[in-house]
Structure 1
Amino acid sequence: MSPLPRALPRRDLLKLASGMVTAGALMGTSGCGLLGGSEDKQGGNAQVEKANLRIGGLPTSELAPLHLAVQNGHFKREGLTVEIINAPDGGTALTSTIGGDYDITFSSYVPIFAAQAKGGTKLKIVADCASSTPNTCMIMASPGARVHSPQDLAGKKIAISGAGTISELMVKASMKANSVDYSKVQWMPLGFPNMPNALKADQVDAAFVVEPFLTLSARDAGAIPVVDTATGPLEDLPLGGYVSTAKFADENPKTVAAFQRALESAVAEAQDRSKIEPLLPQFAKIDKETAAIITLLKMNFRADATRLERIPRLMREFGYIQNDVDVASMIVAPPQS
């Protein structure tokens, strides 16, 4: 197993702000495997009820195991053909899943638990995805904004991936932890790929960015790190997972189990950074040099109710939901290895 490069400390991010690289177009890609088994009229085969899956995703580094599962045949071995469709943010991807456009989607946990708390369409968590580690989720400031500390963020225009997402929640929680009033912040939903350019053009004062856009913001926009939101009370916070409607999970138990087995195998393989680093330029559209230095989130598979309950607790604290969420009942237990 190849050793993971050391996380870039804050001082090195400041150094990156003076450098320039070409990031390329930040648009998502799709991947598909090969179908295993004979397909019937309902789209199933001898292994699963539904063989062709549309999976919602984002062009962010934590989805590397999903792309690895496509490229290295983990899905193929389970009789699945997977197409990955990138959405602008997790909330949009979740809405598309509820509407039937995707079978399973990656989303941050905030929209997932918000939808569950409202009632209506019931959701099932198929797998966990990633949790925060230092230098992976950061509030960065535009070089012309004169924002240098958490206190400077009060009343500023801050970009987030989407309204009601984990990015908004983490900014609020980080500002509160630093005794900063967030009530007058101007929230700007932009989507992660648009944030480096928005910072460079001074369209926003600050932005909540994750990798690879954190490194791109420092290099291409000269953005300044202000708050590492993945430290202190938010360290190792579960960020997002894979979810389907309860109806899909109930009607396609073999398909869900096959997806889980493939993803678990890919997550295990992804612990070797050399396996996923070559994929980052493909689906995150970054250059090889950037892929080599970005800090990766902690990649997970098994959804644990105790860990995930941290999110609904924070959501209640900040007024995102009013009712408790039974997290344990949402989790689809993975098949025994």
Structure 2
Amino acid sequence: MNFRSWISVVTGLGIALATAGAPVQAQTAKPVAVRAAYIPVVTWLPAWVAKEKGFFAKHGLDVTLSVAQNLSVLPGTVGRQFEFVPSTAPDLLKAVASGLDVVATSGEVFETEDNASTYVMVGKDSGIKSAQDLKGKLIATPTIGGVIHVATLYWLKKNGVDPASVRAVEVPFPNMADQLKAKRVDAVEALEPFVGALKAQGNVALTAPLLSAGKEVIFPFWISSGEWARANKSTVTAWKASLDDAIAFIKQNPDEARSILAHYTKLPEAVVKATPFPTYRTAITAKDIEVWGSVLREVGQLATTVDSQKLVVQ
């Protein structure tokens, strides 16, 4: 073998060894399959935008979105049916107190003083003007054990009314206006866009109950199985990053975001246009959760001590 041939062999061998030992950059990593549930209301718009505009795919996720109707039962589905589901602090805390290993993995909506989305509404001729006037009254709530009703009970207690003096009945948001008009209930706990429709009919907002817990409080957010989240932090990071991209898109392209909102909620165009966007934010801390732990203890719905520091994986 002459010198030139020897050099060619050595060079070829070196290239082969270097290629074998290095990652193949041309190959694209397979997207991570993720299953998520959502409730068909404006709260979950960032997830829909992330799906429709390709932000999940951009961050390496192959997301399947499935509609659900009852938020309170979803903690028990993570780790089996879904990787991410909607929840609230009371539902999360109660689930953990009952022995489930579930954690918050991303924020979604915060209720703020300058952008409230939930109100206790009463008829304009009801004579109800304060918390004291609700003693012995019947309130329609989407979920008796849910965050909105917990907040209403806390608001009542802060204003000197025994929460036990008020009765509650579960009524879906779309049916609340009819129930209030027919005087089958004395007040309703309504969420946008239903608040806007109720106000248009002359009904009156008595309070924004969530704000009784603070000037800015976590409302719904995303949770996952604790075991899964701790083992898949890169996927949790990608999920949050996708939602952050979607939130930025919503701010810059509100009209296109509303088209996506209409697609997922099936609401009439006029309602979609009138629906205000809530305050979207993915950051969430143990302190955000603990605020609601204090509220639950005040209204007698959380007897077990829960360490909020262990309830957030981001």
SS in 2 for 1:244: strand
Higher helix proportion: 2
Match of 1:304 among 275, 285, 289: 285
For 1:329, the equivalent position in structure 2 comes to 310
* Counterpart check, 1:318 vs 2:299: yes
Worse-superposed segment, 282-291 or 131-140: 282-291
Range with bigger deviation, 277-286 or 54-63: 277-286
Structure-2 residue corresponding to 1:131? 110
Of 255, 259, 266, the residue aligned with 2:246 is: 266
Counterpart for residue 140 of structure 1: 121
What secondary structure, in the 3-state scheme, does the structure 2 residue paired with 1:237 have? strand
1:46 matched residue in structure 2: 30
Contact persistence 2:47–2:243 (CA under 8 A): yes
Q: Tell whether the 8 Å contact from 1:175 to 1:182 is kept in structure 2 after alignment.
A: yes
Report the Cα offset of residue 164 of structure 1: 1.6
Q: What is the CA distance between 1:115 and its match in structure 2?
A: 0.9
Give the drift of 1:243: 0.3
Provide closer, same or farther for how the CA distance between residues 105 and 293 of structure 1 changes in structure 2, counting only shifts above 3 A. Answer: same
Q: Cα distance, 1:60 vs. partner?
A: 2.4
The CA deviation at 1:114 is: 1.0
User: Is 2:82 the partner of 1:102?
Assistant: yes
Deviates further, 290-299 or 238-247: 290-299
| Alignment correspondent of 1:63 | 44
Root-mean-square deviation (CA, aligned residues, Å) is 2.6
The alignment status of 1:91 with 2:72, answered yes or no, reads yes
Partner of 2:183: 202
Deviates more, 1:251-260 or 1:134-143: 251-260
Q: What is the match of residue 170 of structure 2?
A: 189
| 1:69 Cα deviation after fit | 0.8
Partner AA of 2:50 in structure 1: A
Flag the 1:199–1:244 CA change in 2: closer, same or farther, 3 A: same
Answer yes or no: is 1:78 the counterpart of 2:59. yes
Structure 1's unaligned 5+ residue stretches are 1-36, 39-44
Query: Which is worse superposed, 205-214 or 265-274?
Result: 265-274
Distance, in Å, in 2 between the alignment partners of 1:58 and 1:306 is 25
Shift of 1:171: 0.5
State the one-letter code of the partner of 2:281.
N
Matched, 1:248 2:228: yes
Aligned partner letter, 2:246: A
Question: Cα deviations across residues 154-195 of structure 1 (Å, max 9, x unaligned)?
Answer: 121112221321011111122123222321222112233433
Show the 5 A alignment for 1:215-230: 215-219=196-200, 222-230=202-210
Select between 126-135 and 89-98 the one with higher mean Cα deviation: 89-98
1:230, 1:273 → 2: CA distance? 28
Q: Which has the larger radius of gyration?
A: 2
Distance 1:232 1:59, change over 3 A: same
Q: Deviations over 1:226-255 (max 9, x none)?
A: 222254653211112100112332454443
CA–CA distance in structure 1, aligned partners of residues 68 and 275 of structure 2: 22
- 1:161–1:191 CA contact under 8 A, matched in 2: yes
Choose which of 145, 164, 176 in structure 2 pairs with 1:164: 145
SS at match of 2:108: strand
Q: Aligned AA for 2:101? A: K
Once residues 72 and 299 of structure 2 are traced to their aligned partners in structure 1, the CA distance between those partners, rounded to angstroms, is 18
Cα gap change, 1:273 to 1:233, in 2 (>3 Å): farther
Equivalent residue letter for 1:302? A
Aligned equivalents of 1:55, 1:191: Cα separation in 2: 23
On the 8 A contact 1:270/1:276 being kept in 2, the answer is yes
Q: Which runs of 5+ in 2 are unaligned?
A: 1-26
AA aligned opposite 2:240: Q
Confirm whether residue 149 of structure 1 aligns to residue 130 of structure 2.
Answer: yes
Give the aligned length. 285
Alpha-carbon distance, 1:127 to partner: 0.3
Distance in 2, Cα, partners of 1:253 & 1:109: 21
The answer to whether 1:118 aligns with 2:118 is no
